[in-house]
Amino acid sequence: MVVFAYLSRSSNLGYNKIMEKMPVVKNNYQEDIVKIDNFKIKDKLGFKIKECSIIFEYSYPNINVLFKSLLGKPGYVAGIKNGIINIIKNLRKIDNLSLKNDKSEYFIYNILPKDWTVLFSIGKKEDFESCISFNDKTIILNTNPLTKEGLMGLLHEIGHWEDDKKISKYDRFQREKSQHKMAFRNGTEKDKDILIQIERNAWANGLNHIRNFKDDLDISIDEIKQEVHGNCLQYYEDRFTELLNKH
């Protein structure tokens, strides 16, 4: 169960790993923004979609990165269905991803510090859940970031980092405490609200960045918002409610 994984990881590592419930948007959300038929070991690509220029560079992560992010902490990736070897084979590291048009620019490593690692899977997205680890400074996406779904997943995860950067030490402590309490089925309504707010903030950040590119990339903010509020946040709401201390 995903939430259990989410909680069991946060229980001993504090406000660290967030396993995700991503939106399933019906209308063209799985479509490629740019179709890449065959991922190589490394490549540097450039595209123009309407007014938006995209630069995308990726490479095969070195063994230290893989070890740190996947093997060093057993169970890092939740819900593995087709085996860890398959996931390792299908992972690539984003070296650069930028979007630029006359309204805005979004360079992932202008937002995320350069010592962070972003891995993505070229395999099936069902193989595991996307996640972010603050301790390991790693984001792992279960999809290709040049699909609409993958790009929004990436912007959401980076949105978590942006959110975390804004909060005070006290608020961060409160979040850790809420995660810890929830993991031990000892949370209150307030803890639940704190944890759901983390997700809400990350989506707000991600959607805010895509706003100026939505017409070029044909991404519907309204549809994503509807799914986030109607489905994803509700999912956390339901699961956390099950885990509240009712004694």
Half-sphere exposure at residue 36, Cβ-oriented, CA atoms within 13 angstroms: 20
Residue nearest to Zn ion (CB): 202
Residue 79 near residue 5 (C-beta atoms within 8 A): yes
Minimum distance of Zn ion from residue 18's CB (angstroms) = 5
Residues 172-201 contacting Zn ion, CB under 5 A: 199
Q: How many residues bind Zn ion (CB under 5 A)?
A: 3
Minimum distance of Zn ion from residue 103's CB (angstroms) = 26
Residue span binding Zn ion (CB under 5 A) among the ranges 18-26, 59-67, 100-108, 164-172 = 18-26
**Closer residue to Zn ion, CB minimum distance, 101 or 178:** 178
**Closer residue to Zn ion, CB minimum distance, 21 or 216:** 21
Instruction: Determine if 87 is a binding residue for Zn ion (CB under 5 A).
Output: no
**Closer residue to Zn ion, CB minimum distance, 87 or 154:** 154
Instruction: Determine if 232 is a binding residue for Zn ion (CB under 5 A).
Output: no
Q: Give the residues across from 177 on adjacent strands.
A: none
**Closer residue to Zn ion, CB minimum distance, 52 or 118:** 118
In the stretch 202-231, what mask flags binding to Zn ion with x, by CB under 5 A? x-----------------------------
Minimum distance of Zn ion from residue 179's CB (angstroms) = 13
**Closer residue to Zn ion, CB minimum distance, 20 or 129:** 20
Binding positions for Zn ion, rule: CB under 5 A: 20, 199, 202
